[in-house]
Amino acid sequence: MDNFDKLKTYLEEKRFLIEKTLEELFPKERSYGERVISASYYSLSAGGKRLRPILCLMGYELGDKKSEEILPFACGIECIHTYSLIHDDLPCMDNDDLRRGKPSCHKAFDEATAILAGDGLQALAYEWFTHPEVVKKINPKVLLKAINYIAKASGLQGMVGGQMADLLSEGKKGNLKLLRWIHEHKTVALIEASLVSGAILAGIPAKTLKILSRFGKKFGLLFQITDDLLDLIGDEKQMGKPAKSDLKKGKLTYPSLFGLEKTKRLAEKTTQEAIDSLAPLGEKGELLEILTHYLLQRIS
């Protein structure tokens, strides 16, 4: 079995655990709030790679811990990611009718329901971060620190600020400084925080957290670059959304700024930087290294 096969098995196992936990934890009692609860679950259960919660589990396992202990926390991160997708798809934002091959939330339901579903998923994230099962396993001070880290990364000075700048940049002549800022906030911040929060929960020392943070930023950037490239060269079925939609919207992306070839070279360079940043971890960094190669391979 080669490295990618081992990784794929690992990812598949974790994805299964995440999806099982999402289903188990999701509110069952619905009453008059039925519609918004259904809409939230519609989007939350729509699949996807579950990359962010898996990164959180990987960060936790770096401290020689069993990732089952923090499944509700990891699922909370997926709630934040899903809420951001629901809101980003809205007509007044990116106006995307399709998400993961299905009608996006506001298409399957309506705009008001989609806004509320996103709001409810964000609240659910914090309900799960503080879930009794997690509180039982994790030092409470450390848990508070991890929650604070995620809240910052996903808020006004993180993901939300990045989405704002992304919207404002549409159709305008951009520059590398702005593009980097958008990526660092809109996508990278939550990806980095997913990995680092898991490591915080495992009680990993500050010095190693810094290494993981540096890697997480490189990895997140690589994720965004390959995503931008896939929008241009990927096939619609695999992506579950129309190809070239960034291009049509006049989004500021690496390919729009540098062209295909230069962007591919940048992806390779970023892959190398991400892997180099793992060196101090020694053997422990192996799985993250394979994951990084795997990410790059999406565009080859």
Residues that bind a second copy (CB under 8 A): 27, 29, 31-33, 35-37, 40, 83-84, 87, 90, 92-93, 110-113, 115-116, 118-124, 126-127, 129-131, 135, 140-141, 143-145, 147-148, 151-152, 154-158, 160-165, 167-168, 178, 181-182, 185
Distance between CA atoms of 205 and 89, rounded to whole angstroms? 38
In whole angstroms, the minimum distance from the beta carbon of 80 to a second copy comes to: 8
Distance between CA atoms of 128 and 142, rounded to whole angstroms? 15
- For 42, counting Cβ atoms within 10 Å of its Cβ (0-12 exposed, 13-18 middle, 19+ buried), the class is buried
* Cβ nearer to a second copy, comparing 40 with 263: 40
In whole angstroms, the minimum distance from the beta carbon of 271 to a second copy comes to: 26
* Cβ nearer to a second copy, comparing 27 with 171: 27
In whole angstroms, the minimum distance from the beta carbon of 31 to a second copy comes to: 7
In whole angstroms, the minimum distance from the beta carbon of 134 to a second copy comes to: 9
Tokens of residue 145, six digits = 């620190």
* Cβ nearer to a second copy, comparing 38 with 208: 38
Distances (CA, A) of 36 to 90, 104, 168, 196, 201: 16, 14, 29, 31, 31
* Cβ nearer to a second copy, comparing 68 with 111: 111
Closest CA relative to residue 40, chosen from 85, 72, 71: 85
* Cβ nearer to a second copy, comparing 124 with 222: 124
Q: Residue 73: CB partners within 8 Å, gap ≥ 6?
A: 56, 128, 129, 131, 134, 138, 143, 146, 197, 198, 201
In whole angstroms, the minimum distance from the beta carbon of 124 to a second copy comes to: 6
In whole angstroms, the minimum distance from the beta carbon of 153 to a second copy comes to: 9
Q: Residue 133: CB partners within 8 Å, gap ≥ 6?
A: 71, 72
SS (H, E, C) 217-252: HHHHHHHHHHHHHHHHHCCHHHHCCCCCHHHHHCCC
Distance between CA atoms of 300 and 298, rounded to whole angstroms? 6
* Cβ nearer to a second copy, comparing 98 with 167: 167
In whole angstroms, the minimum distance from the beta carbon of 131 to a second copy comes to: 8
* Cβ nearer to a second copy, comparing 14 with 183: 183
Distance between CA atoms of 296 and 199, rounded to whole angstroms? 24
Distance between CA atoms of 260 and 213, rounded to whole angstroms? 28
